[in-house]
Amino acid sequence: MDANPSTGEESSIATLRVSDVFKLLHTLRASKKICSISFCPITTKSSLASLTLSLNNNLLETHSIESSSSTKTLTIELQGYRFDVGSNPSTGSCLRTIDSGYGLCGLILPRNKYALVPTKCGTIEIIDIGSGTCIDLVEAYGGSVWSIATIPDGDSFVTGSEDHECFLYGFLQNFPVLIWSQAACAMHGISSNGALLVTGSVDKNSKIWGLDFGDCHKSVFAHADNVMAVQFVHDTHYVFSAGKDCLIKYWDADKFELLLTLEGHHAKVWCLSINNRGDFIVLGSHDCSIRHWDRTEDPFLLRKRKKKY
C-alpha cells in the first residue's frame, strides 16, 4: 500500500508488475530472423492461439500455440524470393546449365547461338549455347564488368565496368572501338535508333552520350545514391533510371529533364525492364519484391522545374 501525501492516509491502489499479468509459457524458435508477427482471430479448441511469422528471407510460417508446446502448421515458401532480386526472372524450366566464372550480367546475341557473360574479374566469356561450352575469353577490363547491351543494328555491343570505362565492341573483333571514362559504370542502356547511350554509375550521376562521335551530351545528378539500372523506352529518347535511394525516375534524354518520380519500394532498386511498347515497367528490389507499373491513359503535364540537371 502507498501513502497519500495530501491526506496522510494510505492509498488503496496496488502496484502491478508485468510478471503479475503475463506468464512465459515457452519460447518459439523460427527458422530465420522474425520481421513481424500477426495473431489469427480464429483458433482451434485444442490451441491457445495461432500466429503467423514473417521472416527476413521472405518466408511465412504459421504456428499453433498450446499450453505445453507449439507446432508449425503451415509454411508459405513458393510465393516469395529467398534473397534479393538480382535480375529480372523469366518463367519456365531451365534448358541448360553452363559452367562459367563469376558472371555479373549477360547478353544473348542475335540468332540465339552465342551468349556473352561479363565477369567479376574483368573478362568477357563467349558461350556457345548449343554445346554449352566457353569458346573464347576476352581480357576486357581491370575491374568487374557490371553491364552489357547490344547496339540496335546488331553489329556491336557496349560494356561498362567499375574501372571507369565503357567499351564499344564489334562482334567480329575483340578490341574496343570507343572508350568513355567516368566513375564506375553500374549500368547502361542504348536508344532504339542507336543514337544515344545512357550510363549510370556509383557517383549518383547519369551521363548521356552520343554514339556517333562518343561525346558526352550531358551529365545529370540522377539519384541520392548509386544508380543501379537505366533503360530507354522503345522507339523514344525517354529513359527510366533506378537507384539505391528506392526511387525510379523518368527522364527526357533530349531535353535532359526529369519528367516523373515513382515511389513504392522500401529498399534499393536493383534492376528494371520495360516491355517493347513501353506500356509497363517491372522492377526488382532489395526488399525482395517485384513491382509492376502500368502506363495510364491520363494526359501527362510536365510542370516547369526551377532546378536544372
Residue-level pLDDT at 305: 45
How does pLDDT run across 38-77, given as a tens digit for each residue?
A: 888 777 777 888 888 888 877 888 888 887 788 888 887 7
Residue-level pLDDT at 84: 56
For the purposes of burial, counting CB atoms within 10 Å of the CB of 107, is it exposed (0-12), middle (13-18) or buried (19 or more)?
middle
Q: What percent of the chain has pLDDT over 70?
A: 80
Judged against a pLDDT cut of 80, whether residue 83 lies above it is answered with no
Cα–Cα distance measured from residue 138 to residue 126, given in angstroms and rounded to the nearest whole number: 8
Cα–Cα distance measured from residue 187 to residue 212, given in angstroms and rounded to the nearest whole number: 20
Residue-level pLDDT at 239: 92
Residue-level pLDDT at 306: 41
How does pLDDT run across 96-110, given as a tens digit for each residue?
A: 677 888 888 888 887
At 131, the pLDDT band (50, 70, 90 cuts) reads: confident
Which residue would you say has higher pLDDT here, 179 or 213? 213
At 249, the pLDDT band (50, 70, 90 cuts) reads: very high
How does pLDDT run across 143-163, given as a tens digit for each residue?
A: 888 888 887 777 778 887 777
Cα–Cα distance measured from residue 117 to residue 140, given in angstroms and rounded to the nearest whole number: 12
Edge-to-edge strands, sheet with 280-285: 269-274, 280-285, 290-294
Q: How far is CA 216 from CA 107, 182, 212, 226, 267, in A?
A: 25, 10, 11, 20, 31
How much is the pTM? 0.53
Judged against a pLDDT cut of 50, whether residue 78 lies above it is answered with yes
Judged against a pLDDT cut of 80, whether residue 250 lies above it is answered with yes
107-108 and 257-262 beta bridge pairing = unpaired
